[in-house]
Amino acid sequence: MASEGYVYEDGKFKVTEEMKDDFEKHGYILIRKLLDGAELMKVKEVLEENQEITKHSYGLSDGTGRECKMALWNHPGSDVTGMVARCERMVDTSEKLLGEEVYHYHTKLMMKEAQTGGSFLWHQDYGYWYKNGCLFPDMLTVFIAIDRCNKANGCLQVLRGSHKCGRIEHLMVAGQTGADLERVKEIEKVCPMEYVEMEPGDALFFHSNLLHTSGPNNSELRRWAFLVAYNTKANSPVEINHTPQYTPLKKVPNSAIKDCTNVTDMSGKEFLNPAFDKTVKVAY
């Protein structure tokens, strides 16, 4: 796929004009090894061992009898996962790609379990966030692979350059908000589809209008991913709902991920109750 040549090196990494050009042209950049093995181990300790996050998860039907599970929270908090969302390499890169100050919009854990995990329909993140009162698509998501992501276990698929099409009409399909498929079919003819295969610790920074989907997990390997969404300061939602208004983001140094010892205290995260989210229908 395009733009996969970037590799994070601690102390050396910087956002280049080439990266910004790729983000503008393609709608995404892929950065390999954004989290190293030790950092990933700390994140997995939080996600896997104490269940303080996974206990807030809920299922989203794909209309085929399968579902994905998701847990979402509005504020980063002070645990290891919060350090990831607040660290310089995440925040500074997002600000350089979007061209202005950002704040934490939400973080979510996406879980596709082995042999049962469902699909995510073609959509734009701004297809959801538009309905939450954000007036501009000046937002992005950082998708970090916790597990290996490949075609067999339902990796991301993107339509390269589709963010330039603007917001597509979105409708409720099963438990998800999906893009108008007739429009998507036409866009597929001019925007190449790419499979985003990733190793644990790799990260995809992608624009909120980039069309993307992911298939079911038919493999014997789970596919967990950690996603952090950032909104620009000037784009704070114009209505009060379950999403956060502009809240200054307290950045931390990159070393904070390894230095953090908090793996159990999730106070301040404000986990989403899906009953208040009009863009999804929860599968029970």
> Which homologous superfamily is 6-247+269-275 in?
q2cbj1_9rhob like domain (2.60.120.620)
Where does 184-280 show beta strands of DSSP type E?
Answer: 193-196, 203-207, 212-214, 223-232
Is the pLDDT at 282 greater than 50? The verdict is: no
- pLDDT value for 280: 47
Distance CA 102, CA 45 (A): 28
> How does residue 175 score in pLDDT terms, banded at 50, 70 and 90?
low
- pLDDT value for 176: 63
Residue 62 buriedness (CB in 10 A; 0-12 / 13-18 / 19+): buried
DSSP alpha helix (H) spans, the chain: 17-26, 37-44, 80-86, 88-98, 125-129, 181-188, 256-259
- pLDDT value for 283: 45
**Cβ neighbours, 10 Å, residue 149:** 26
Q: Phi-psi region for residue 166, left (φ > 0), alpha (ψ -120 to 50) or beta?
A: left
CB 102 within 8 A of CB 249: yes
What's the average model confidence in pLDDT over 29-51?
A: 95
Least-confidence region, from 27-41, 110-124, 178-192: 110-124
Least-confidence region, from 64-68, 94-98, 140-144, 220-224: 64-68
What's the average model confidence in pLDDT over 93-101?
A: 98
- pLDDT value for 232: 98
What's the average model confidence in pLDDT over 224-253?
A: 97
Partners of 193 in beta bridges: 159
Q: Is the pTM of this model over 0.85?
A: yes
- What's the longest Cα–Cα distance across the chain? 49
CA of 194: how far to CAs of 27, 71, 161, in Å? Answer: 12, 26, 11
Average pLDDT, the chain: 92
Least-confidence region, from 41-55, 200-214, 236-250, 270-284: 270-284
Q: Which one has a higher pLDDT value, 79 or 3?
A: 79
* Cβ-count burial 180-208 (b if 16+ within 10 Å, e if not): eeeebeebeeebeebebbbebbbbbbbbb
> How does residue 10 score in pLDDT terms, banded at 50, 70 and 90?
very high
- pLDDT value for 48: 93
Is the pLDDT at 63 greater than 80? The verdict is: no
